[in-house]
Amino acid sequence: MSAKENGPAAASPGRLTTLDALRGAASLLVLFYHLDDVLVALGADPPFGGLGHGGARGVDFLFVLSGYVMARVYLMDRERRTSATAFLRQRAQRLLPAFWTVSLAALALYVAGYGGMEKATKLEPLRLLASFLLLPQDHQPLLNVSWFLVYEAFFYLLVALALFDRRIGFAAIFAWQGLVLALLLAGQHVGPSEVPNYLSPRCLGLGIGIAFAMLGRRIEQRCGLRAMSFAFVAAAGLFLGDMVWEGIGERDTHGLPILLLDLAAGTVLLTVTTLERRGGWKAPRPLAALGSISYSVYLTHFAVLTLSVRFIASLGMPVGQATALACAVAALAVGASFHRWLDAPVQSALRGRQMARKAETRRTVGVEASHRSA
C-alpha cells in the first residue's frame, strides 16, 4: 500500500518511502506471528526461538498507521477537499475486490469440507453475509485475517462523516475513542479483538494515529532533526523490545500496556516522516516494495502458511527452522503474485474507469456550457 493512500500507486514526488517500509515491516511481523501460531498448533516447536510470537504487535502498529495516514491524507489536507462519498468509493474500490476474491476462495475450501465441523459455523448464511460485508459478529469471520478490516471499515465510516461535517465527525471519533478508553481503564473485557465488536482496546491505535498526525506539524516545527532521531531510536527500541520480550518469554506473555505501545508506534511514524521530508531519509527498497504489496500479502498469507505447513506435515517431513522459513517465503511469493496478477490490474482498471467517467463528465459540462453561451 502506498504511503499517501492505503492502496497501490505509482511513485510520486509526495510519496513517503518510510511509511511504505513501516507498513511492509508490520506486515512481515504479522506473517511471522501466524507462522509461529500455525506451527505450535500442530505440535511443532516455536520457530526462531519463539521470536515470531511477538509479531502480533505488528497489527497494533497497523492500527496506528491507518489512523495516521487517514488523518494526513484526508482529514488534514484541506486542498484535496475529498467528499465523503468519493472517499468511501475509493476505500471500497481499494479493499473489496481483493478481499472478496480471497474470501470466495476460502468459502470454496470450507464448502469442500476443509476444517470439518469446526469451520461449519462460518458457513451459516448470516455469518457469511456479515463476513462479506465486514460487519461485526460473535465468531471469527470467514477469512480469519479480515477481522482487522472490520475495524477499518467502521473507522472509514467515521472518517467519511468527518469529511461530510467536520464537527460531527470528530465528535463521533472522540466519543468512540473515549468509550473504548473508559472500558479499558475500567478493566471491562470486551472479548478477543479477532471477534470484532468495535470496542477492542486495539481501536485506540486509530485515534492515537490521528492525534500524532494532527500534532505532527507543531512538533516538527519545534524539534530539530537530532531530537527527532533520538525519539525515533527510543520509540522503535521500546516497541521492538516489547516484541522480543513477548516472543522469548513464556507463551502468551503480556508485554507493555497497549497504550504505551501505540504511543511508541505514533512516535515512530511522526519521526520517520519528518526525517524523510526534512532530513532526506530513505527507506530500504526491499521493505518499501513489501509495503506496496502488503495488502495482498496480508489477505493471503495465513491460508498459504496453514496449507503449506499441513501439507509438509502430511508427508511426514520434519517441520524445522528451514521448513518454517520456506513456508514464509512461499507466503510472500503468493502474496506478491496475487498483487501483480490480480489486485494491481483490477485497481488499474478501476482507476481507468473512474478517469474515463470524469473525462466524460467534463465533456458533457463543456458542451452544455457552449450551448448556453450560444
For the chain, the structural domain boundaries read 17-373
First CA to last CA distance, the chain: 48
pLDDT tier for residue 314 given thresholds of 50, 70 and 90: confident
Helices 321-338 and 294-314, interaxial angle, to 10°? 140
Please tell me which residue, 369 or 142, carries the higher pLDDT value: 142
Averaged pLDDT, 36-63: 92
pLDDT tier for residue 366 given thresholds of 50, 70 and 90: low
> Which DSSP category does 46 fall into?
P
pLDDT reading at 356 higher than 90: no
* Contact between 297 and 331 (Cβ < 8 Å): yes
Which of 100-104, 140-144, 251-255, 349-353 is the least confident region?
A: 251-255
Query: Per the structure block, which three cell numbers stand in for 124?
Result: 451459516
- φ and ψ at 64, to 5 degrees? -65, -40
Q: What is the dihedral of CA 151, 153, 155, 160, to 10 degrees?
A: 180
Could you write out the DSSP letters of every residue in 23-44? HHHHHHHHHHHHHHHHHHHTTP
**Cα distance between residue 286 and residue 303, in whole Å:** 23
For the chain, give the percent of residues with pLDDT over 90: 68
pLDDT reading at 10 higher than 90: no
* CB atoms inside a 10 Å sphere around CB 173: 21
Query: If you average pLDDT over each of 184-193, 288-297, 354-363, which comes out highest?
Result: 288-297
pLDDT reading at 255 higher than 50: yes
pLDDT single digits (tens) 187-224: 887 777 777 789 999 999 999 999 999 988 788 778 88
Q: Indicate the residue type of 224.
A: G
**Cα distance between residue 313 and residue 108, in whole Å:** 23
- pLDDT at 302 (0 to 100): 97
pLDDT tier for residue 111 given thresholds of 50, 70 and 90: very high
Its pTM stands at 0.91
Which of 21-30, 77-86, 236-245, 353-362 is the least confident region?
A: 353-362
Q: How far is CA 205 from CA 186, 210, 319, 334, in A?
A: 18, 9, 35, 29
**Cα distance between residue 78 and residue 65, in whole Å:** 20
Please tell me which residue, 300 or 112, carries the higher pLDDT value: 300
The chain-wide mean pLDDT, for the chain, equals 89
Averaged pLDDT, 11-36: 87
At 151 the three-state DSSP class reads: helix
**Cα distance between residue 122 and residue 105, in whole Å:** 14
Please tell me which residue, 92 or 352, carries the higher pLDDT value: 92
